[in-house]
Amino acid sequence: MEKTNLERRVFHPPEEILRHANIKGEMYKEAQADRLGWWKKQAHELVTFFKPFEKVLDDSNPPFYRWFTGGTTNVSYNCVDRHYHSDKRNKAAICYENEMGKKVVMTYRELYVEVNKFANVLKSLGVGKGDRVCLYMPMIPEAAVAMLACTRIGAIHSVVFGGFSSHSLAERINDAQAKILITADGNFRKGTPFPLKENADAAMEAAPGIEKCIVVKNAENPINMHEGRDFWYHELMASAAKYYQPEEMEADAPLFILYTSGSTGKPKGVQHSTAGYLVQVQATLKYVFDLKETDVFWCTADIGWITGHSYVVYGPLALGMTTLMYDGTLDYPDKDRVWEMAERWGVTIFYTAPTAIRTFMKWGPEYPKRHDLSQLRLLGTVGEPINPEAWMWYYENIGGGRCPIMDTWWQTETGGFMVTPTPILPIKPGTATKPFPGIEVDVVDDDKQPAERGYLVVKSPWPSMLMTIWGDDQRYLDEYWSRFGDYYFTGDGAKKDSMGYIWVTGRVDDVLKVSGHRLGTAEIESSLVECEEVAEAAVIGKKDDIKGEVPVAFVTLKDGYKGSSELVAKLKKHVDVKVGPIARPSSIIFTSTLPKTRSGKIMRRLLRDITEGRTIGDATTLADPSAMEEIVAAYSGKAG
Ligand code: WT7
């Protein structure tokens, strides 16, 4: 961690990029001088409003900020219709490929037809403005079509990552009170169909609010169709009317809900807005990834995460660009799959996560070397801090030493990039550099004073900010606005270097980043304590060379139970089923006690000292100071 300040390598933007960059140096100054004026200009340039907005920012009821109020628009109109009515009509909108080699190129015209038809399908199934529609889908074009069709009719989608368990899916359906579920029969993972519909069936058992389920035939694996409830996508589409007039939506109408992990066991439904979101995802993509008419943009994120929403679907399509979707693993049939695809599709901009970069690094440079990657001009990374070694490897072996790397810091809650380089800034391995124009971010100490090292905060509202937590305004206030008042608290720690660049050091709350996926320690703990043998559980993140962090669980058992490898396997399986395999603890340590304060709070910091092999920190506030010895012994006896 201390290494970051020693990082002195600076890479200056190549002449060629500087000359043609969408962003100009003046924009930083312009935005600084007049932040709202800058966003107003972006809104005018990037969004087609049906009715013009009256106010850029309504801050009369903080922190429930509302952007571009008075205006009306429709997101699917912006992503599809306006390109359909332009020279882009026959341009590739979505390029898709799955693991088995199936390929689809969908033009804006074709996308327009599909979105309109599916909007009519949803309407005919009784979905209206403001209704919630849950998506549990693979990375297939139909997922983008479904998202856009929801926005067309003003329904609110909630996409649940396909890797989540049926239990997690049901929990999210119930919280949002969704009445329609859209899924697929399955999708391929290393050549074998993954049973999405089976999970969806189990979830619907526990989510009685679902009235109808629409199923895309994708993997062609055998599934159960529940008469009267389940419908094939292709059958509904066959008879759907061809046009649906996009609903006129208020600028601050909820666009979607996306669940993410917080400090309690209950996932929170981050609620995003219509116009503000649409402005910022486009502005950031246009200026950070410098998208040009001929680019092929490949963001490897799944649509189940915010990155998939903002930079696979909404950002690229609103800008009328070509976005590539891949449904499959990175090493099937071989470890050069990604580079083989990048060459074949002519990918010019590639955006992925540090965990993927570290995996490529482990596999070795011979895989990218098999392919001609000379078309690449910009690279990106997101999801967790990137270690300078991985950054350098990416820069040299994928970018050929000529592609600037955009290390974009943002969150599900922020909707779009917040701290990020643009292609005209000097970059350094490991830092997300500076706030995007129009964004005010700082590092502060416990007293909210600017500091070289402390907490990352956002000092003023931004267009694509979350509106609230679905159905829980109080949680919105508590989680983000209680610690620093009118500054938004990100949950991240950060440092500033002598160039004023921001180095995000990671979460300071009980949130883990496992392969870039966000998990609450509380979510995993509450699934563990459901097991009859378990009395208490404490989960922490342990550093991992590839995944960044992996969950490690310390578990105390009820009287009469003994730890065993069978029990470890059982508990891991239970987490798989309850949360999802991404949350599975890499190790489970049985101990007779946990480090707790007198008030009963578990001191996870001390557990982290053990797993990282550090000297144990201050343990004087523990109710039972001798507990640590026993836990250390349990850990060293078990480790792994
Ligand atoms: C958390 C948000 C934003 C889309 C993917 C993750 C970490 C994200 C970076 C980065 C260092 C990063 C932070 C943040 N994070 N990007 N470039 N450098 N850390 O979204 O699941 O909401 O997670 O990811 O800890 O708070 P998310």
Q: What is the DSSP code string of 498-531?
A: TT--EEEEEESSSEEEETTEEEEHHHHHHHHHTS
Each residue's pLDDT tens digit, 118-166: 999 999 999 999 999 999 999 999 999 999 999 999 999 999 999 999 9
Pairing outcome for strands 103-107 and 349-352: unpaired
Whole-number pLDDT of residue 229: 98
**Burial class of 601 by CB neighbour count within 10 A (0 to 12, 13 to 18, 19+):** exposed
Q: Alpha-carbon Rg of the chain, whole angstroms?
A: 24
Question: Can you give the pLDDT at residue 264?
Answer: 84
State whether the beta carbon of 384 lies less than 6 angstroms from ligand 1: yes
Whether residue 309 has its Cβ less than 6 Å from ligand 1: no
Instruction: Tell me the C-alpha to C-alpha distance, in Å, between residue 24 and each of 31, 262, 292.
Output: 12, 37, 15
Tokens describing residue 626: 């001798």
Give percent of the chain with pLDDT exceeding 70.
Answer: 98
Does residue 408 have its Cβ closer than 6 Å to ligand 1? Answer: yes
Q: Does residue 514 have its Cβ closer than 6 Å to ligand 1?
A: no
207 near 196, Cβ under 8 Å?
A: no
Is the per-residue pLDDT at 1 higher than 50?
no
Tens-place pLDDT, residues 476-534: 999 999 999 999 999 999 999 999 999 999 999 989 999 999 999 999 999 999 999 99
Whether ligand 1 lies within 6 angstroms of the CB of 519 is answered as no
The Å distance, Cα 578 to ligand 1 centre, comes to: 24
pLDDT per residue as tens digits for the range 65-100:
999 999 999 999 999 999 999 999 999 999 999 999
Question: Which one of 268, 384, 434 would you pick to mutate in the ligand 1 pocket, going by the greatest count of ligand atoms within 8 A of its CB?
Answer: 384
Task: Kindly give the distance from the C-alpha atom of residue 351 to the centroid of ligand 1, in angstroms, as a whole number.
Answer: 14
pLDDT band at 265 (very low <50, low <70, confident <90, very high): confident
CA distances from 457 to 1, 162, 182, 488 (A): 20, 31, 37, 5
The C-alpha atoms of residue 192 and residue 42 are separated, in whole angstroms, by: 45
- pLDDT averaged over every residue in the chain: 96
Domains of the chain are 15-329+408-495 (3.40.50.12780), 515-637 (3.30.300.30)
- CA 102–ligand 1 middle distance (angstroms): 32
pLDDT for 39-69, tens place per residue? 999 999 999 999 999 999 999 999 999 999 9
Sign of CA dihedral 533, 536, 538, 539: positive
Query: Helix, strand, coil proportions of the chain in percent (round to 5)?
Result: 35, 25, 40
Q: Where are the alpha helices (DSSP H) in 502-612?
A: 521-529, 565-578, 604-611
Of all atoms in ligand 1, which is nearest to the CA of residue 419? 17
Q: Does any ligand 1 atom lie closer than 6 A to the CB of residue 518?
A: yes
| Ligand 1 center to 507 CA (angstroms) | 9
Phi-psi region of 328 (alpha: psi -120 to 50; beta: other; left: phi over 0): left
Closest atom of ligand 1 to CA, residue 306 = 4
Place of tokens 């557990």: 607
Q: What are phi and psi of 478, to 5 degrees?
A: -65, -45
* Rounded Cα gap, residues 389 and 395, in angstroms: 10
Distance 558 CA to ligand 1 centre (A): 37
What does the pLDDT read at residue 2? 45
Tell me, what's the pLDDT at 5?
A: 53
The pick from 4, 518, 523, 549 for probing ligand 1's pocket by mutation, whose C-beta has the most ligand atoms within 8 angstroms, reads: 518
Residue 159, pLDDT score: 98
How many Å apart are CA 422 and CA 22, to the nearest integer? 9
pTM for the structure as a whole: 0.95
As given in the structure block, the two tokens for residue 185 are 């029969």
Model confidence at 4: pLDDT above 80: no
In angstroms, the CA 452 to CA 499 distance is: 11
Measured CA to CA, the distance from residue 340 to residue 367 in angstroms comes to 9
Transcribe 181-192 into DSSP letters.
EEEES-EEETTE
Residue 640 has pLDDT above 70, yes or no: no
Q: How remote is the CA of residue 441 from the centroid of ligand 1, in Å?
A: 15
Cβ 268 under 6 angstroms from ligand 1: no
Whether 639 shows a pLDDT value over 60: the answer reads: no
Which ligand 1 atom sits nearest the alpha carbon of residue 420?
17
Query: Where residue 638 falls among pLDDT bands split at 50, 70, 90?
Result: low
Whether ligand 1 lies within 6 angstroms of the CB of 302 is answered as: no
Question: Which residues contact residue 145 at a Cβ distance below 8 angstroms, ignoring those fewer than 6 apart?
Answer: 111, 114, 115, 118
Q: Which residues contact 287 (CB under 8 A, 6 or more apart)?
A: 22, 23, 27, 422, 436, 437
Residue 260, ligand 1, Cβ within 6 A: yes
pLDDT beyond 70 at 283: yes
Mean pLDDT computed over 192-206: 96
Alpha-carbon torsion (576, 581, 583, 584), positive or negative: positive
CA 382 to centroid of ligand 1, rounded, Å = 6
Best substitution site from 466, 504, 505 to test ligand 1's pocket, by max atoms within 8 Å of Cβ? 504
Cα-to-centroid distance, 409 and ligand 1 (Å): 6
Burial 64-82 (b: 16+ CB within 10 A, else e): bbbbbbebbbbbbbbbbbe
For ligand 1, whether the C-beta of 432 sits within 6 Å is yes
- Residue 468's Cβ-side half-sphere holds a number of Cα atoms within 13 Å equal to 15
- Distance, in Å, from the CA atom of 324 to the CA atom of 92, rounded to the nearest integer, reads 10
- Hey, what are 397's tokens? 């072996």
- Using a 6 Å cutoff on CB, does residue 412 contact ligand 1? yes
Determine which residue's CA is closest to atom 17 belonging to ligand 1: 409
